[in-house]
Structure 1
Amino acid sequence: GDWVVYSGFKRLFILNSHVSNFAPLRCALEMLRAEHDDLMVALINSATISERVKERHFWDADDWHANEAETSLMMAVAPEMVRPDKLQESDDPDRTEDCVFSHPVNRTSLNGVTGKPSEASIEKGHELFSWMVSDLSKVINQGIKEHPPLPYSYHQPINSNK
């Protein structure tokens, strides 16, 4: 992120598409924000860009993995990565509803899937990808115009001007 600042940019949009990357990316956001007072950093998760995108990702499982939405997207953008002959027998329910702890996929799924990839289609993937592009564009355009709600430095203590 330093190179973004050194190149003169004041805004950095990070698009994350893997749940496990969120924590380290959030740490990076905090470090960049502390080091570069004028840099605004947005961490956007591709599955929650907008309410409609979120609903499509979460309709068949809360702790989804290779579900209908992900499989449809892959069918649309990287069809060679999908094994269509496996889809009909791949559905596996979300077993995390009553869990307090977060568990790895091998402890929650019999086959690496959580959700209903059997309901995936290339058409659904194209539609979802189109929504994601459109809705991400709106978020970025909003971010381009955004200013901090209060005009204080990151390093300025709260209520320091009283």
Structure 2
Amino acid sequence: MYGRELLYEVYGPKTLLEMSWLEVEEALQVTDIALLPLGSTENHGPHLPLGSDTFQGTDFARRVLVKLEERGIRAVAAPCMPFGVNYHMLPFPGSLHVSADTLRRVILDVGASLVHHGFRKLALIMGHGGNFATMQVAAQELAERHGCRVLALNWLPYLTAHYHEILTSGQKEGHAGEGETARMLVSTPRLVRLDRARAHYPAPPSRPIEADQHPVYGGGVFRALLSYKEVTPYGNVGDPARATREAGERIYELCCEWMADVIAREFGPAPSLT
């Protein structure tokens, strides 16, 4: 039975969804930097909502805005794209896939709109790992078409190098595992169902090879996958029940500091536009 219960709370800063055109016009007087997070709607195990990547992508963008302002840099964030490249998740009900070409075209159109308004420096923020290859292609094409500056940011390699300082399992955590569940306990705790969490660790490879990881994690091996059920029957990798809100806050802090550092270095303080 449907109800009108509170599902989740939203904290600032505002994205374009919550801003008026006048607020955007005022922002353009002091910045030409825009963030564009890209998420998905897909399986995240039995314990997390399908929109986990989109909720996290939004939270990443909002928090990076704060980190940039601490560095004396103003920026504006676009709403997080809720659809991504995830064909392999279709065996799990509710997952919604768009092709890489469709995503590329949407990034190009949204990016062109931002450039039209005066945002000449764009930072694409990965909320879903399956989008990153397309983000790189679109970033280059945006730069070539409009003469603007574009970054595609993937925080996972940096985070993976620090996961051992935060996570408790001592094993390889992955999709919708301890780390991602911890972030969701921060972003939308009311939507997390730890009572439904199931631990699953895929069997390790018969012969370990250095850098045998997906490129989104910093490795050098991409495996085309038709169904994520080949990896896990539950839709997650790791032990979500170990997740804590405190760990989620630490992860967000690490990743957003890193992204803000990169954006600040690459784009610097916005020039005076008045």
Shift of 1:18: 0.3
Q: 1:61 aligns with which of 172, 197, 211?
A: 172
For residue 102 of structure 1, give the secondary structure of its aligned residue in structure 2.
coil
Q: Using structure 1 for the length normalisation, give the TM-score.
A: 0.72
What do residues 38-75 of structure 1 show as CA deviations (whole Å, max 9, x unaligned)? Answer: x1110112434xx2x2332997437x210111000001
Shift of 1:80: 1.7
Taking a change above 3 Å as real, the CA distance of residues 137 and 143 of structure 1, as seen in their structure-2 partners, is same
Shift of 1:22: 1.6
Q: Is the 8 A contact 2:155 2:258 kept in 1?
A: no
Amino acid in the other structure paired with 1:24:
T
Alignment correspondent of 2:254: 131
Q: 1:92 aligns with which of 195, 200, 225?
A: 200
Alignment correspondent of 1:77: 187
What do residues 101-137 of structure 1 show as CA deviations (whole Å, max 9, x unaligned)? Answer: 3323211102101122122111111111122222222
Shift of 1:140: 1.4
Amino acid in the other structure paired with 2:268:
K
Distance 1:114 1:107 in 2: 12
Distance 1:34 1:130 in 2: 33
Alignment correspondent of 1:102: 224
Alignment correspondent of 2:154: 45
**Stretches of structure 1 lacking an aligned partner (at least 5 in a row):** 147-162
Amino acid in the other structure paired with 2:189:
P
Q: 2:117 aligns with which of 1, 4, 7?
A: 7
C-alpha RMSD over aligned residues? 2.7
Alignment correspondent of 2:3: none
Taking a change above 3 Å as real, the CA distance of residues 122 and 24 of structure 1, as seen in their structure-2 partners, is same
Name the larger-Rg structure: 1
Decide which structure has greater helix share. Answer: 1
Distance 2:229 2:190 in 1: 24
What do residues 3-57 of structure 1 show as CA deviations (whole Å, max 9, x unaligned)? Answer: 23222333110101101212332232122122122x1110112434xx2x23329
Alignment correspondent of 2:20: none
Distance 1:107 1:2 in 2: 38
Distance 1:105 1:96 in 2: 16
Shift of 1:84: 1.4
Distance 1:28 1:126 in 2: 30
Aligned residues: 139
Alignment correspondent of 2:239: 116
Distance 1:16 1:33 in 2: 18
Q: Using structure 2 for the length normalisation, give the TM-score.
A: 0.45
